[in-house]
Structure 1
Amino acid sequence: MDPAIRYEATRTDGKARQGRLTTPHGEVDTPAFMPVGTAGTVKGVTPDQLAACGARMILGNTYHLMLRPGAEVVAELGGLHKFMGWSGPILTDSGGFQVFSLAHLRRIDDAGVVFQSHVDGSEVELTPRRAVEIQRFLSADVMMQLDECPPGQAPREQVAAAVERSLTWARDCRDAWVELDRRSAAGHAQALFGIQQGGTHLDLRERSARELAALDLPGYAVGGLSVGEGHEAMIRVLDEIDNLLPADRPRYLMGVGEPRDILAAVMRGIDMFDCVMPTRNARNAQAFTWTGRLRLRNACHASDRRPLDETCPCYACRTFSRGAIRHFFQADEMLGPILLTLHNLRFFADFMAAIRQAIGEGNLAERSAQWLEAMSPSSGKESQATD
């Protein structure tokens, strides 16, 4: 493993791990949640506000950035850290998920994919090597291999083929990463994470994990979940993760942001998460709180003087009432989504900090049960009852 990219588990509670990921742009305490900056910005907040909300590591989207403004342009402008105005660690995905979910596919084979850009309709080829080259130009601390992510209800034959193709692409990505000296265009060390696939088929997951582990990569992600397979199916897969992925490397569950899913995954050995939920839900007038989710467009909040969450120290909760924030949304004022984005980002940062503390104290299972009960729609809490 590159010495500039290190992971150390400092405490455990069952399978849950409290640890630290060291990158060229700083340390990240784990388990950690990464806000998503799709097009080079986390929507609705400045980088300073993002840091003040407690974010330490963020995600950039390779698919969107390679199409606009272009990876080479980002490199010319100083790399993604300079481009985004973010001094902390950044992880970039490979673009594969967006290719399969957003773009019109022209061709897919072991060499890569050819697709039609949703931006200008042009034909674009993305190979494993090109995915690495693009992410090298972007100069994130962590890059992801190109992988094929089939839908959650895909037949076994399709999932098995995606596993084999993703393994082929993982080997090609590793070769390109090594040839490029494992360093970004900005000159710092850059880690490559492999992505385990296999859907809900445990034997395919095992094969994927075994072959990826043989590549001795700095970290490993669990892909192909949160794509429609359902919570219970996700749990069945995560139950085996501790036995499948190397214990001395960080484990990243891609695209998962529901608090109950995060808790379940942490208790099964996952260290890193990303999701658009804090920001996307904020733009849709939904706030995460310790007593459940609030939908601020509901009329019951119109005259509510309470903050979003009595325990939250964020700017929105210190300054505005639920009624005021609801008005901003009803009036289509920009401030409404901004305030909920600030709040949701702070909630997720505090949520992960509480998880880390519980692991350190050895009482994560007990605390998780309490949190889930408080957030449950059947808890009887006033904030949830009016949701």
Structure 2
Amino acid sequence: MQQQLDVKLLDKIVKQTIAAVEKSKAQIFDIYEAARAEMEHVKKDIERVKQATADIIFKVDELERQERRARLRLAEVSRNFTVYSEADIKAAYDEASRLQVELAIAREQEAVLRRQRDELELRLRNLKNTVERAENLVAQVGAALGFLGNQMENVLTHLGTLQQRQAFGIKIIKAQEEERRRVAREIHDGPAQAMANVVFRAEVCERLIDADIARAKAELRELREQVRLCLKETRKIIFDLRPMTLDDLGLVPTLRRVLDTLKERTGLITELKVLGEEKRLDSHVEIGIFRIIQEALTNVEKHAKATAVRVLIEFRPRLVAVVVEDDGQGFDGLENVGSESFGLMGMRERINILGGELKIDSEKGKGTKIFLKVPLP
């Protein structure tokens, strides 16, 4: 439970981090848009100032020419008192003074406009740098956000897988302990009791051997039967743990025996069909396929309420395909058997180890089919 809480907390932190990065990305984009809009305004201001500067420069040039002519006119009038009247001299002086004032004002305006132009151009360069940096930053944050989202999704998926594996490991330990208890109980109730009875009858035979030979022989016959039953029970336990026929004869003969035993025990109609050329497989492949089929048959016996079960196994050059089909009650969707089902998890774990594929097809009232494919080296 703590593991689940930790994963949920991590998921929450990741989502909050992604949301914060998304918010930061939006803020950076707002800065980018504002800087870009300001840059457009500055461009327009520069064009306006440049035009005004060009106009004032033209005006200054014109005033300089006029002012030079006015000064020449004033000098000429001042030298020729006999030709020009005092009014002419005053008019020339006033004109020269007026032009000098206008020229000074125009030159000051030119200087101001040049400073404005230079300042605006500097500001425009700074804004361009800001826009470029903001644009690059938005792209980088977007890429980082995508990477973060994808990677953290993979991390969470991996953590979820680890969590499932941990839960699966716990279930394996519980199953092992349960299997040990089952084996211990079967040995205690079966072979152990039978062996205790054998010891008791052996003692009876020892006492009767000299007193009543006929009764001693009868007890020995009972003793022999008890030993035979004890041996049968022991072999059954050994077969359940690991069928010896699997090592000696292979997968198909072992499945025939399992199905025959299932038929005797439950009354189910069983069928085994083999396609292709039957052959021995690597030991780990045979035991893996056998355990998956064994688990499927156990589910049929315990849950399916079926009347018949059919196993089809096909040997191909590079592949073994298996179908386990029953006519039981079936179910709608895997969620109805539970994703935490130990049997299902064990089957999937085994097929993953074998590098194969497992598919379960079931429908309510129409039985269940389990398809599995295992590649061969």
TM more than 0.5? no
Higher strand share: 1
> Structure 1 length normalisation: TM-score?
0.20
Higher helix share: 2
Structure number with higher relative contact order (C-alpha < 8 Å, ≥ 6 residues apart): 1
